[in-house]
Structure 1
Amino acid sequence: MPWATSVVVALLGLTVGHYLRGWLASGAYRRDGDVVRRRGAPRWVRPVAAVLPALAWWQLCAHDRAPLAVVVVPLAWLMVALAAIDLDVHRLPDAVQLPLYPVLAVALSAVAVITGDGASLLRSVAACAVVLAVGALLWLTAPRQGLGLGDVKLAGLLAAVLAQLGWSQVLLGLWAGFALGGVAAAALLVTRRAGRRDHLALGPPLMLGSLLGVLVG
């Protein structure tokens, strides 16, 4: 019963969120030169770490994608931490993101072995490569205030996971992420909480858009 195991995931998320808040409050991810936008850890970390992974687990298990759900839930917890970091210092640390690439490659390979679905693994590799290539091109040609290299690396990770569900989920998830980022940027500009030249945190909208891709998929 997906709802019962989803409750377990939510309870685990509360515990994980507690430790994430402690780590975020330490500011260990900050480095010299960072513009710090808050003190301590945001209160939303615990409830988000409980609710969003539980929703993803419920949706995937309801559609017989339990092996993928086992990969997505811990990844979602890491995304919560990355979102909090990005909102604080407007940076997505390589120390967190880069190790995720080989870890995710091993995890999705294990999913392919368990499910016997090698096509999904190839689709993930292709989607990741395409998104990284397009993202790098945009980073080189677009204004630096809009898209950072950290955002490109994040998009590659998210694309690899979304591709397990299909190309339409890759397109939906990333499109929704950029659309949400545009709405957030417009709201900040209208309320004068940010200027046209300010760098905005694109990571959280990308993550929310990808979650939408999972839930719809």
Structure 2
Amino acid sequence: MPVIWAPLPGGLVVGLIAAVTATRWLRRRSYRYEDEADAPVRDPRWLWGVLPVAMGLVAVGWWPSSPSLAVLWGVMTIGLGVLSAIDLDVHRLPDRLTFPLAGVVVAGVVVVGLIDGTPHAIVRALAGGAALGAFYLLQVIIGGARGMGLGDAKLAVSLGMILGFSSWWHVFVATLAAYLIALVWGIGLILFRGAGRRTEIAFGPHMALGAVLVAAAPGVVALVGLL
């Protein structure tokens, strides 16, 4: 087995375990408010397919150059999967998950920066979190929190930090990808579901997918190069 393939099995296994564990917790619906108790239920079992693949690609792409950053991206990927499932279910990103995630990412980028000897990346990560959080917060203020909420702005802080750790280009591409994915999704809803201007769309999953696609890209390139 080529060295670059070595992290793949571990990523797949960890992703599957995380998916099964997350699904069991999500099915309790403990994140729902009382007035959401009777809302339609979204099945989170899609995580069983998504998390193993995402974790495997993240492991292949990042482990050879920075095992510590690969671990941080792995934790982030799991967090994004859980938050996406919740947002799809109730169109809300709970503070009790977004705040701890931000704390984990802050600690994570500091530790990774010290281990890898890249203190400048720590500064860029913190600046990226502040910039992306402010960008989304401005949209919430301008839009009156319609279509995009404070939860998205809080999640943006974590995304900006972990993406910014690598480069500003990562922040830009992931953010652009989120909007393009949301655009395609919205068009699909209009064409096939008869959605209108007042149709609510959870934006958190688009943000998460944009970031994960950027994180998985090095793994995809590495694997394709070996085929």
Q: Which band: TM-score by shorter chain?
A: over 0.9
Identify the residue that residue 17 of structure 2 maps to in structure 1: 15
Q: Which residue identity does 1:213 align to in structure 2?
A: V
Unaligned runs of 5+ residues in structure 1 are none
Equivalent of 2:63 in 61, 64, 70 = 61
Identify the residue that residue 52 of structure 1 maps to in structure 2: 54
- The answer on whether the counterparts of 1:145 and 1:197 sit within 8 Å (CA) in structure 2 is no
Measure the CA separation in 1 of the matches of 2:19 and 2:216.
21
Identify the residue that residue 137 of structure 1 maps to in structure 2: 138
1:36 correspondence with 2:39: yes
Q: Which residue identity does 2:140 align to in structure 1?
A: W
Q: Which has the bigger relative contact order, CA under 8 A and spacing at least 6?
A: 2
3-state SS of 1:194 partner:
coil
Identify the residue that residue 221 of structure 2 maps to in structure 1: none
Q: Runs of at least 4 residues of structure 1 off by over 3 A?
A: none
Worse-superposed segment, 136-145 or 91-100: 136-145
Aligned-residue offset at 1:173: 0.4
Aligned-residue offset at 1:145: 2.9
- The answer on whether the counterparts of 1:21 and 1:45 sit within 8 Å (CA) in structure 2 is yes
- The answer on whether the counterparts of 1:155 and 1:174 sit within 8 Å (CA) in structure 2 is no
Percent same amino acid among aligned pairs? 31
Aligned-residue offset at 1:10: 0.7
Give the number of the structure whose residues are more often helix, by fraction: 2
Aligned-residue offset at 1:143: 5.2
Worse-superposed segment, 165-174 or 52-61: 52-61
Aligned-residue offset at 1:193: 5.0
Q: Which residue identity does 1:98 align to in structure 2?
A: F
Name the Cα RMSD after superposition.
Answer: 1.6
Aligned-residue offset at 1:144: 3.1
Unaligned runs of 5+ residues in structure 2 are 219-227
Q: Deviations over 1:33-81 (max 9, x none)?
A: 2373325x3321112121111111111124x122111111021111111
Identify the residue that residue 225 of structure 2 maps to in structure 1: none
Q: Rate the CA distance shift 1:61–1:70 in 2: closer, same or farther, 3 A.
A: same
Count matched residues.
Answer: 215
Q: Which residue identity does 1:36 align to in structure 2?
A: A
Q: Deviations over 1:176-202 (max 9, x none)?
A: 011101111121122235331122111
Identify the residue that residue 79 of structure 1 maps to in structure 2: 80
